[in-house]
């Protein structure tokens, strides 16, 4: 028997003990589900193991099999925990289907990394005996992806979601609209995609570079409603909820280019070609509010998520201040300033979502000028303690609002990963892997009830400087692996040195599945691949 080396798992399970025995996956292996609820994760695992092994892996209702899935009733495992035991057979048990799925993803990682390949590989598929009992620290383990600045084809998004699920993320925040492109088909407003999904050309280089240069190439694309239903179904099978974002009332230039009556100025606009904060903003006429409701109605029809993200960030008030019509509206509604106008707008959208049994989530600016009852905050302005974003985040949880921590100080993966001058173009800042790993998603001075409002953590992928999925993956990985671990593992169990060692194996998995990661070896040159 070979000496047993600790398996390289990401995220690391909270409890793992080597035991006697060796399991071998072979052409004769079978997968069983002991109860009907366990069928789906059993079948999904079979489809995930077949390509690389070339084995049939029949899936049957049974209490016996090479790999047996079974639901059980251990309340201590919570809604996402599981137990996995490997001897000459494997059992995966959990109180929930999600837990069974996470057990199956740990099992995949216990196999040689080539198991992630999409073509048959001839090799021995063995696992050393091990017992794992595992559950996550946070219930919101999110990754965000901006497909507005650069469109990413459906097939690539599906692969990205599969990778996230293998790292036990459970939330995919899909930023579908922005000034530079509208990516979601809305039947009632076809020009959002016939016009709003396309921009004439794109800025070359950094937004701060002068003189400005453009590529002269039309860029765009969008997802049809049938595409979106397919992506939602694919994510749901992998226990990932998709939180769609329709950013309003700012970040709406693509929509205003398609329907000028939504805007504040008389000048015609085109879909934006540069990056940065844009002054063009929705007007607040009743007809515009109706537009937002109509769009959200179709969004809710496509996305079953309880949370609907309405953006709310960087809404520049200049055009509101300058517009007589909007000033009249403000007076008619008895509001003191433009901040109050924004709050009222968000409140009305929140009420609308609530009347449809959904919950509003928005960037931390939605709390400026008073916060809609029950709204959930996504805290992004985290540059320093005591800044406006931090104050809002802290006050919000103290007032009973739920919070997702998505701070740009540690969790913005559009920042540079190293100071190396050869590092490909990024937005700026410097967030190395270690900084993300060491991040503690906590707010000091909260009592237990207040702290319970912190739902979890999320990484951001703004794609101004990521023209395709290869660049997205390069910027996302390995930092998203660090995030997956800090979202899963209690603070005292985190360990950056073993994380880096385990990353060596994760890189082989990425290589097998065709993920374009940035090598983390350079951070710790003395580690050698096993």
Give, in order, the Cα–Cα distances in Å from 401 to each of 63, 308, 362.
Answer: 44, 15, 12
Between 363 and 477, name the residue whose CB sits nearer to ligand TNX.
Answer: 363
Give, in order, the Cα–Cα distances in Å from 260 to each of 76, 223, 269, 288, 460.
Answer: 55, 23, 7, 11, 30
**What's the burial of 334, exposed, middle or buried (CB within 10 Å: 0-12/13-18/19+)?**
exposed
Give, in order, the Cα–Cα distances in Å from 399 to each of 16, 387, 402, 403.
Answer: 39, 18, 9, 11
Helices (H) and strands (E) in the chain, counts: 16, 21
Residue 246 in tokens: 């329709």
Between 33 and 465, name the residue whose CB sits nearer to ligand TNX.
Answer: 465
What is the closest distance, in whole angstroms, from the C-beta atom of residue 247 to ligand TNX in the complex?
8
Between 319 and 458, name the residue whose CB sits nearer to ligand TNX.
Answer: 458
Site for ligand TNX in 329-368 (CB under 6 A): 363
d(CA 484, CA 510): 15
Binding-site member from 82, 102, 462, 517 for ligand TNX (CB under 6 A): 462
Residue 202 in tokens: 């794109």
- Contact of 523 with 530, CB cutoff 8 Å: no
Residue 480 DSSP code: H
Residue 79 DSSP code: T
d(CA 328, CA 331): 5
What is the closest distance, in whole angstroms, from the C-beta atom of residue 187 to ligand TNX in the complex?
27
Interaction between residue 380 and ligand TNX (CB under 6 A): yes
What is the closest distance, in whole angstroms, from the C-beta atom of residue 112 to ligand TNX in the complex?
38
**Other beta carbons within 10 Å of 19:** 12
For tokens 């209690």, name the residue: 490
**Other beta carbons within 10 Å of 344:** 18
d(CA 73, CA 84): 15
Between 330 and 471, name the residue whose CB sits nearer to ligand TNX.
Answer: 471
Interaction between residue 185 and ligand TNX (CB under 6 A): no
Site for ligand TNX in 24-53 (CB under 6 A): none
Between 166 and 417, name the residue whose CB sits nearer to ligand TNX.
Answer: 417
What is the closest distance, in whole angstroms, from the C-beta atom of residue 390 to ligand TNX in the complex?
15
Binding-site member from 298, 313, 485, 507 for ligand TNX (CB under 6 A): 313
Cis peptide before 128 (omega within 30 of 0): no
Give, in order, the Cα–Cα distances in Å from 258 to each of 161, 195, 269, 283.
Answer: 30, 5, 8, 14
What is the closest distance, in whole angstroms, from the C-beta atom of residue 382 to ligand TNX in the complex?
10
What is the closest distance, in whole angstroms, from the C-beta atom of residue 460 to ligand TNX in the complex?
6
Between 323 and 460, name the residue whose CB sits nearer to ligand TNX.
Answer: 460
What is the closest distance, in whole angstroms, from the C-beta atom of residue 63 to ligand TNX in the complex?
50
Residue 522 in tokens: 């350079």
Binding-site member from 412, 437, 439, 477 for ligand TNX (CB under 6 A): 412
d(CA 208, CA 275): 9
Binding-site member from 93, 414, 473, 507 for ligand TNX (CB under 6 A): 414
Between 361 and 427, name the residue whose CB sits nearer to ligand TNX.
Answer: 427
Binding-site member from 372, 427, 476, 487 for ligand TNX (CB under 6 A): 427
Between 464 and 473, name the residue whose CB sits nearer to ligand TNX.
Answer: 464
Binding-site member from 285, 294, 314, 434 for ligand TNX (CB under 6 A): 314
What is the closest distance, in whole angstroms, from the C-beta atom of residue 92 to ligand TNX in the complex?
38
Interaction between residue 499 and ligand TNX (CB under 6 A): no
**What's the burial of 163, exposed, middle or buried (CB within 10 Å: 0-12/13-18/19+)?**
buried
d(CA 258, CA 189): 9
Give the residue numbers annotated as catalytic, written as ranges: 178, 251, 314
What is the closest distance, in whole angstroms, from the C-beta atom of residue 369 to ligand TNX in the complex?
17
- Contact of 383 with 410, CB cutoff 8 Å: no
DSSP E strand stretches across 26-58 = 31-33
> Strand 403-405 relative to strand 376-379: parallel, antiparallel, unpaired?
parallel
Question: Site size for ligand TNX, by CB under 6 A?
Answer: 9
Between 291 and 412, name the residue whose CB sits nearer to ligand TNX.
Answer: 412
- Could you list the residues that contact ligand TNX (CB under 6 A)? 313-314, 363, 380, 412, 414, 427, 462, 464
């Amino acid at each position: 028997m070979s000496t047993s080396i600790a398996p390289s798992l990401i995220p690391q399970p909270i409890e793992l003990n080597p035991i006697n025995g060796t399991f071998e996956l072979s052409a004769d292996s079978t997968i069983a589900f002991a109860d009907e609820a366990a069928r789906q994760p059993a079948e999904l695992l079979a489809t995930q193991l077949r390509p690389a092994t070339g084995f049939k892996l029949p899936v049957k209702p049974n209490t016996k099999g090479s790999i047996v899935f079974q639901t059980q009733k251990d309340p201590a495992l919570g809604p996402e925990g599981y137990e996995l035991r490997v001897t000459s057979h494997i059992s995966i048990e959990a109180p929930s289907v999600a837990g069974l799925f996470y057990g199956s993803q740990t099992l995949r990682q216990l196999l040689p990394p080539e198991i992630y390949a999409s073509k048959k590989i001839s090799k021995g598929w063995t696992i050393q005996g091990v017992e794992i009992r595992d559950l996550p620290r946070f219930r919101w383990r999110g990754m965000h992806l901006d497909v507005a600045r650069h469109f990413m084809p459906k097939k690539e998004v599906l692969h990205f979601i599969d990778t996230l699920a293998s790292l036990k993320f459970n939330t995919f925040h899909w930023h579908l609209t922005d000034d530079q492109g509208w990516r979601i088909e809305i039947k009632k407003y076809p020009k959002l995609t016939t016009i709003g999904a396309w921009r004439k050309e794109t800025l070359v280089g950094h937004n701060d570079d002068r003189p400005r240069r453009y590529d002269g190439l039309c860029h765009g694309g969008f997802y049809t409603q049938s595409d979106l239903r397919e992506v939602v179904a694919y994510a749901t099978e992998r226990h990932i909820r998709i939180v769609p974002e329709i950013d309003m009332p700012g970040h709406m230039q693509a929509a205003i280019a398609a329907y000028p009556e939504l805007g504040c100025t008389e000048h015609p606009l085109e879909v934006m070609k540069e990056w940065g904060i844009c002054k063009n903003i929705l007007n607040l006429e009743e007809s515009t509010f109706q537009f937002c409701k109509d769009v959200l109605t179709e969004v809710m029809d496509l996305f079953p998520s309880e949370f609907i993200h309405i953006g709310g960030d960087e809404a520049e008030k200049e055009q509101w201040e300058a517009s007589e019509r909007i000033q009249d509206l403000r007076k008619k509604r008895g509001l003191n300033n433009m901040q109050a106008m924004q709050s009222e707008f968000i409140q009305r959208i929140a009420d609308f979502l609530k009347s449809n049994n959904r919950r509003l989530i928005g960037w931390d600016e939605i709390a400026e000028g008073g916060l809609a009852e029950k709204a959930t905050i996504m805290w992004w302005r985290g540059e320093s303690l005591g800044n406006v974003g931090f104050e809002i985040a802290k006050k919000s949880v103290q007032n009973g609002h739920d919070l997702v921590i998505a701070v740009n100080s540690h969790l913005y993966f559009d920042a540079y990963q190293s100071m190396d001058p050869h590092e490909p173009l990024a937005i700026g800042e410097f967030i190395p892997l270690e900084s993300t790993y060491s991040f503690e998603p906590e707010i000091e001075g909260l009592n237990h009830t207040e702290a319970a409002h912190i739902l979890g953590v999320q990484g951001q992928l703004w794609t101004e400087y990521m023209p395709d999925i290869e660049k997205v993956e390069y910027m996302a990985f390995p930092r998203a692996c660090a995030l997956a671990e800090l979202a899963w593992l209690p603070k005292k169990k985190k360990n950056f040195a073993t994380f880096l060692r385990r990353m060596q194996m994760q890189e082989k998995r990425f290589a097998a599945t065709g993920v374009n990661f940035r090598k983390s070896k350079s951070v710790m040159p003395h580690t050698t691949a096993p």
